[in-house]
Amino acid sequence: MVKPDILLAAPHRLLFLIGVVQLAAMMLWWLTVLSGLLLGMAAPAGGDIPQVLLHAPILVYLALPPLFFGFLLTVFPRWMGYPDLERESFAPVAGGYGLATLLSWGAVLSGNDRLLAAAFASASFACLWGFSALLSIALRERHDGKAPTWHGWSILAAFVFGLIGQIALMAFILNPAAATLSLANSLGLWAMLLPVFVTVCHRMIPFFAGNVVEGYVRWRPNWILGAYWGLTMLMIAGQLLTVSFLQTFAALLLSALTLLMSWKWWPRAKAPALFWVLIIGFAWAPVGYALWAISSLGLPIGRAPEHALTIGFAGSLLIAMITRVTQGHSGRPLELPLAGKFAFVGMQIAAAARIATALYAEDGFWLVISAIIFLIAFLPWAARNARIYLSPRKDGKPG
């Protein structure tokens, strides 16, 4: 039997466990939905809300945030020079997302929209609690007269948009006639999910590379974050106002900006595998934004931009970042294990397959194949990590 003291020994343990289980369960559910809709196979019962509309909200607001908070509640105090958080700061976040996970499974399997609303409400509570915990650290930093940690404030800005997106999502779930789902999806992807990953990379990649790559010059000017946020807001405005020129212009500049970041961060000397998965994963960002610019011009490329950014960019970085935290905080060496290598390579294949499917008119058979590839890559890695979160550290240290 797993002792609660192990799961709550550090912020990342229970939250990472919830996140990897929810993401795996969500993709299994999505595979059955796709198989039922596109191949005539059995599919879960659906409620009044079509299940195809739930894929993005479940991913953005239920599956990924526990992983975000598991990471951020661990590193935020360290970024700002404060002690690790006590469990009363992070246990309610894990509890809220854990409850949301259970409710969401019941909702999608039974087609009960009330359970679905309760799941997203629980996730919103958890997000608000986690946001408040992070904000208190940032405000303490300002109160103590320290210079602001801009990475922290960038993360907080992303969660403000995420909370607004969850309000819009709840309005849709309670009244499917409300035209707020697109706003919820747009804010969740472009203003929360992607900025969190970009901000963490801006902080993490130069720091990590400076420790493991000989002669590496750390490059992370703060103007990059400002430019990224400005262009992101411009692109979202173009989407909401249906001004294609703004979308295209902003997406092209975002592609150029993230390409510059990739080039400046690319190692010019030998680097370990755990760093290569970070930098290769980030290289999907300019591809995804370039595809969005193409899409905003009206060219028929389906959902290729979104999946280049969610599977290619976010999926790859998820494997890289969580592996690094899991290895380091479990007393294991900072290296990429076999399951991590398999997951990362599989994520590249899944992203390429999903983009190819989008380019070929979203063919149902290949949609199913891309989901299967994702699961084959993800499940062994998730199972290995889950076992680690349920076990004490190998070196006997606390945490």
Classify residue 257: in a domain, yes or no: yes
Residue 399 lies in a domain: no
Confidence of residue 341 (pLDDT cuts 50, 70, 90): very high
Evaluate if residue 1 carries a pLDDT over 60. no
Give the Cα separation of 117 and 278 in Å (integer).
Answer: 35
Does residue 398 sit within a domain?
no
pLDDT digits (tens, 9 = 90+) for 259-287: 999 999 999 889 999 999 999 999 999 99
pLDDT (0 to 100) of residue 66 = 97
**Predicted local distance difference test score (pLDDT) of residue 48:** 82
Contacts of range 140-143, beta carbons closer than 8 Å, 24 or more positions apart? 140/80, 140/82, 141/80, 141/81, 141/82
Over residues 113-134, the pLDDT tens digits come to 899 999 999 999 999 999 999 9
If one counts the domains in the chain, the total is: 1
Residue 315 lies in a domain: yes
**Per-residue pLDDT band at 36 (split at 50, 70, 90):** confident
Residue 41: predicted pLDDT: 66
Tell whether 395 is covered by a domain.
no
Residue 155 belongs to domain with CATH number:
1.20.210.10
Q: Using CB atoms within 10 Å of the CB of residue 223, give its burial: 0 to 12 exposed, 13 to 18 middle, 19+ buried.
A: exposed
Range of the domain at 285: 4-389
Please report whether residue 67 resides in a domain: yes
Taken in order 199, 139, 17, 123, is the CA torsion positive or negative? Answer: negative
Measured distance CA(370)–CA(12) in Å, rounded: 29
What's the confidence (pLDDT) of residue 2?
60
pLDDT band at 385 (very low <50, low <70, confident <90, very high): very high
Q: Cα–Cα distance between 152 and 159 in angstroms, integer?
A: 11
Model confidence at 24, in pLDDT bands (50, 70, 90)? very high
Residue 73 domain-assigned (yes or no): yes
Residue 266 lies in a domain: yes
Backbone phi, then psi, for 217, in 5-degree steps? -100, 115
Hey, what are 94's tokens? 């894990």
pLDDT digits 0-9 by tens, 212-225: 898 898 999 999 99
